Amino acid sequence: MWIVRWFFILLVLVIVLTFVVQNSTEQRVIIKFFNWKSGEISFVFAMFLAFVMGLAVWLMISIYHDLKLRSEIAIKNRQIRSLEKELSDLRNEPIRELSEITEPSQEETPEV
């Protein structure tokens, strides 16, 4: 299944690159960001740069989200282990009480 997914990703990438190459003109742009100003760069390169920056932001958000979920899973696993131990202790509790009741103590046995 992963082969099909990567095939479609590659196909989309080839289509996008073909579109960019066929429609690239010698348009030049200047990127302004607050007081910073870039030199003249190709419009296609500016679009690619914006795409890469968007991917970087997405990656950072995804890593944060993944770490948050892993932390929650670890907390839940600790709670599960604690509750399973408590349940096991409670299941074994009547067995201990029953064994204490059924075994006659040394004091109660009549002497012959």
**25 and 48, same domain (yes or no):** yes
Total structural domains in the chain? 2
**71 and 92, same domain (yes or no):** yes
In order, the DSSP letters of the chain are -HHHHHHHHHHHHHHHHHHHHHH--S-EE--EETTEE---EEHHHHHHHHHHHHHHHHHHHHHHHHHHHHHHHHHHHHHHHHHHHHHHHHHHHHHHHHHHHHSPPTTTSPP-
Q: What is the pTM of this model?
A: 0.56
pLDDT tens, residue order, the chain (112 aa): 777 888 888 888 888 888 877 777 778 888 888 988 888 888 878 888 888 899 899 999 999 999 999 999 999 999 999 999 999 888 887 655 555 656 655 555 556 5
* Residue 44 forms part of a structural domain: yes
**pLDDT at position 70, please?**
96
* Residue 71 forms part of a structural domain: yes
> Where in the sequence is the domain holding 95, given as residue range(s)?
66-99
**pLDDT at position 13, please?**
84
* Residue 31 forms part of a structural domain: yes
* Residue 59 forms part of a structural domain: no
